[in-house]
């Protein structure tokens, strides 16, 4: 007697845009392989969009619906949320879980704002919650943090997780372009939205930093816990000064344990990275995340951080994992926030700094400036001076110092007669040593 064909695993898609249409395409095109990997066929039962009358390449017209609430509550084995935004995405996910569906989402904004509610609903309903695509698109990163490194102790996560800003900074570097020119080019090429605020303001990277920090440090972290500064203040002069010193400027998401090990600091800001650091060569729209763990040492994850097909690849990986759990009766990983480390202020973060000053060119100036650093316990690593006549440019690079001490130093510098203006202050990341 032939073996009975296993019942299909049903999949409902909430969203049929850039990512959703690619998920639908892959579910259809790769159906035989996916069925073999899961042990049961995957059956797409509906795709919810705002405008169901508009044809979508790769999405069968008879599956399109504008009734997202109805589709979410239909009790599919797996609901994939790729609509974006907080509402109605959150309500739809909760209604799907209440109906017994496992949920896959790419929605970093929702996870970083209110992941706890989603985790709780998944636990209450005995379903899975997977979200690999929410950070760094196609790059397998959350599963390694959540599963492969579950036996290690992560010390630091340092990454380029926003392709739009990386593209803009790469253009500023390679073409000497001003920020506004590089942004306009990114918009013309489709790498930046018409309203680029979420990207250039660092908010998208901050949401991803919160998700990474929560998984890395087993501690609940939300967007509000992330200190966030975007790239709008980065100038062509900063980029040039960085280049002269052998650095590039990157927008970094950083999550790290405090020196006492009892806290975690999560921050997003532009920083100078030495040319020989692996993150320095990550260009254009690519993403990369550098993870440092106590036993494993340093690792880097690199690849495409966005785009329909790359992001859909990560979504499909989660669909296969959730579907296998359905077939085997298993469960995916649940929320792990047992460590409950305190989320500390960026004032406690220890990093190196570059300070660019416009100073009067007369004797004693250097001594006064060095004193301002010393008074605040900030030790100077390198000083470079150029210019003649009345004005001189002075660039100071420091050893490790706390953010608070550096801020006090800069406040002091602004009060000195010798200092005409503080032209730029930027953190330096990725250098070894004190
Ligand atoms: N694009 C990427 O590269 C990327 C990468 C990683 C993560 N993500 C995340 O993936 C998610 C989707 O992004 P995307 O770029 O695919 O967005 P998108 O192209 O704007 O697609 C959103 C889809 O959701 C539908 N939709 C939105 N609100 C709806 C509502 N209230 N009811 C019914 N349908 C609704 C839209 O319908 P219409 O088509 O009718 O407007 C559209 O099909 C977001 O959370 C995003 O952050 C995206």
261 CA distance to ligand 1 middle (Å): 39
- Of all atoms in ligand 1, which is nearest to the CA of residue 204? 47
Q: Tell me if residue 420 is catalytic.
A: no
Q: Cα dist. 88→56, 63, 116, 211, 376 in Å?
A: 22, 20, 17, 21, 49
Average pLDDT along the chain: 95
Pocket test for ligand 1, best of 46, 49, 114, 167 (most atoms within 8 A of CB): 49
Q: Are strands 350-360 and 286-293 parallel, antiparallel or unpaired?
A: unpaired
Cis geometry, peptide bond prior to residue 19 (ω within 30 degrees of 0): no
Cβ atoms of 49 and 64 closer than 8 Å: yes
Cβ atoms of 331 and 383 closer than 8 Å: no
Cβ–ligand 1 contact at 106 (below 6 Å) = yes
Mean pLDDT of the region 226-253: 95
Paired with 251 in beta bridges are 270
Radius of gyration of the chain (CA): 24
Q: Tens of pLDDT along 118-132?
A: 999 999 999 999 999
- Of all atoms in ligand 1, which is nearest to the CA of residue 88? 31
Nearest to 167 by CA among 315, 313, 306, 353: 306
Q: What per-residue confidence (pLDDT) applies to 75?
A: 98
Q: Tens of pLDDT along 334-351?
A: 999 999 999 999 999 999
Taking CA atoms only, the protein residue closest to ligand 1 atom 6 is: 137
Distance, CA of 298 to CA of 254 (rounded, Å)? 15
Cβ contacts of residue 119 below 8 Å, gap of 6+? 129, 334, 335
Q: What per-residue confidence (pLDDT) applies to 20?
A: 96
Catalytic residue, candidates 108, 156, 171, 208: 208
Distance, CA of 432 to CA of 380 (rounded, Å)? 15
Cβ contacts of residue 411 below 8 Å, gap of 6+? none
84 CA distance to ligand 1 middle (Å): 5
Cα-Cα-Cα-Cα torsion 163, 164, 167, 168, nearest 10 degrees, comes to -150
Q: Taking 90 as the threshold, does the pLDDT of residue 434 lie above it?
A: no
Q: Tens of pLDDT along 34-86?
A: 999 999 999 999 999 999 999 888 889 999 999 999 999 999 999 999 999 99
Residue with tokens 């100038």, as numbered in its chain: 235
CA of residue 393 relative to chain centroid, distance: 35
Cβ atoms of 328 and 42 closer than 8 Å: no
Paired with 135 in beta bridges are none
- Of all atoms in ligand 1, which is nearest to the CA of residue 15? 24
Intra-chain end-to-end CA distance of the chain, in Å: 72
pTM: 0.96
Confidence of residue 416 (pLDDT cuts 50, 70, 90): very high
Q: For residue 206, what are its two tokens?
A: 């901050």
User: Which DSSP string do the residues of 298-343 spell out, in sequence order?
Assistant: EEEEEEE--SHHHHHHHHHHHHHHHHHHHHHT--------TT-PEE
Taking CA atoms only, the protein residue closest to ligand 1 atom 18 is: 17
- Of all atoms in ligand 1, which is nearest to the CA of residue 51? 40
Nearest to 396 by CA among 363, 417, 374: 374
Cβ–ligand 1 contact at 412 (below 6 Å) = no
Q: What per-residue confidence (pLDDT) applies to 389?
A: 61
Cβ–ligand 1 contact at 198 (below 6 Å) = no
Go through the domains of the chain in sequence order and give each one's CATH number: 9-138+309-328 (3.40.50.720), 142-304 (3.30.360.10), 349-428 (3.30.70.260)
Pocket test for ligand 1, best of 50, 64, 131 (most atoms within 8 A of CB): 50
Q: Phi and psi (nearest 5°) for 198?
A: -60, -35
């Amino acid at each position: 007697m032939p073996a009975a064909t296993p019942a299909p695993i049903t999949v409902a898609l909430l969203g049929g845009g850039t990512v959703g249409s690619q998920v639908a395409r892959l579910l259809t095109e790769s159906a035989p392989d996916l069925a073999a990997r899961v042990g049961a066929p995957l059956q797409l039962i509906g795709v919810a969009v705002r405008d169901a009358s508009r044809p979508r390449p790769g999405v069968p017209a008879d599956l399109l619906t504008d009734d997202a609430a109805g589709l979410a509550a239909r009790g599919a084995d797996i609901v994939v949320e790729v609509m974006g935004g907080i509402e109605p995405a959150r309500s739809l996910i909760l209604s799907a879980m209440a109906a017994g569906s496992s949920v896959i989402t790419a929605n970093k904004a929702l996870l970083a704002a209110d992941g706890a509610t989603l985790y709780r609903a998944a636990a209450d309903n005995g379903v899975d919650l997977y979200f690999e695509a929410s950070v760094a698109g196609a790059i397998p990163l959350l599963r390694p943090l959540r599963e492969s490194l579950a036996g290690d102790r992560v010390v630091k996560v340092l990454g380029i997780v926003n392709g739009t800003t990386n593209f803009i900074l790469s253009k500023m570097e390679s073409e000497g372009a001003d920020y506004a020119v590089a942004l306009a080019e990114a918009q013309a090429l489709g790498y930046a939205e018409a309203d680029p605020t979420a990207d250039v303001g660092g908010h998208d990277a901050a949401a991803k930093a919160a998700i990474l920090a929560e998984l890395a440090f087993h501690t609940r972290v939300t967007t509000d816990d992330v200190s966030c500064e975007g790239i709008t203040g980065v100038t062509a002069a900063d980029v040039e000064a960085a280049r002269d010193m052998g650095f590039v400027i990157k927008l970094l998401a950083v999550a790290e344990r405090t020196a006492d090990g009892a806290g975690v600091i999560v921050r997003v800001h532009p920083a100078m990275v030495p040319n020989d650091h692996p993150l320095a060569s990550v260009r254009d729209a690519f993403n990369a995340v550098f993870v440092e763990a106590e036993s494993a040492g340093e690792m880097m994850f690199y690849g495409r951080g966005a785009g329909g097909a790359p992001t859909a690849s990560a979504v499909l990986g989660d669909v296969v994992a959730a579907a296998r759990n359905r077939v085997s009766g298993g469960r995916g990983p649940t929320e792990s926030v047992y460590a409950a480390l305190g989320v500390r202020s960026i004032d406690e973060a220890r990093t190196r700094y570059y300070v660019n000053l416009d100073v009067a060119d007369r004797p004693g100036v250097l001594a006064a400036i060095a004193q301002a650093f010393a008074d605040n316990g900030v030790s100077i690593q390198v000083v470079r001076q150029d210019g003649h006549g009345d004005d001189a440019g002075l660039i100071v690079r420091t050893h490790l110092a706390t953010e608070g001490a550096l801020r006090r130093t800069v406040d002091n510098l602004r009060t000195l007669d010798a200092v005409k203006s503080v032209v730029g202050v930027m953190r330096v990341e990725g250098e070894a040593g004190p």
